[in-house]
Amino acid sequence: MRKDIDMTYFKKCLEERLAGIMDGQEAKKGKAPVELDQARVGRLSRMDAMQQHAISQAAYNLADLERQRIQSALGRMLADEYGYCVICGEEIAEGRLRFDPSALTCIACAQKTEAR
Ligand SMILES: [Zn+2]
């Protein structure tokens, strides 16, 4: 376990972000996927409605991906593996974790993955 970083701080960050995402997803779930109520059909064509649905779906998927990243980071915290790169096992720089507490790789490995 990392002694050089404030685990409580990162745990709080992750939990707050996770709660925010869950709230957002819960709010969206209540809505019909493609709204076609009379008031909107006049101004909004079905194509527009479909497009809006696609956009909100994409946002939902993005949020879902982040939720998975955060949950996996929290899981690594429980396993005392938080803060170590999942690829090379090196410590992840604290600055990187502050920027993205759900980061799973060190900067070097992240750059290698992106360059692929
Ligand atoms: Zn690495």
Assigned CATH class of 7-115: mainly alpha
Where exactly are the structural domains of the chain?
Answer: 7-115
Q: What is the pLDDT of residue 96?
A: 96
C-alpha distances in angstroms, 44 versus 10, 25, 34? 44, 24, 12
* Per-residue model confidence (pLDDT) at position 108: 96
d(Cα 49, Cα 34) in Å, to the nearest integer? 6
In this prediction, residues 82-96 reach a mean pLDDT of 96
User: With 90 as the cut, is the pLDDT of residue 1 above it?
Assistant: no
- Interval between CA 114 and ligand 1 midpoint (Å): 13
Average pLDDT over residues 11-38: 80
- Ion ligand 1 — residues with CB under 5 Å? 85, 87-88, 90, 106, 109
Cα 17 to ligand 1 centre (Å): 24
Taking the centre of ligand 1 as the mean of its atom positions, its distance from the CA of residue 53, in whole angstroms, is: 38
Mean pLDDT of 76-92: 96
pLDDT tens digits for range 49-68 = 889 899 999 999 999 999 99
Going from the Cα of 80 to the center of ligand 1, the distance in angstroms, rounded, reads 17
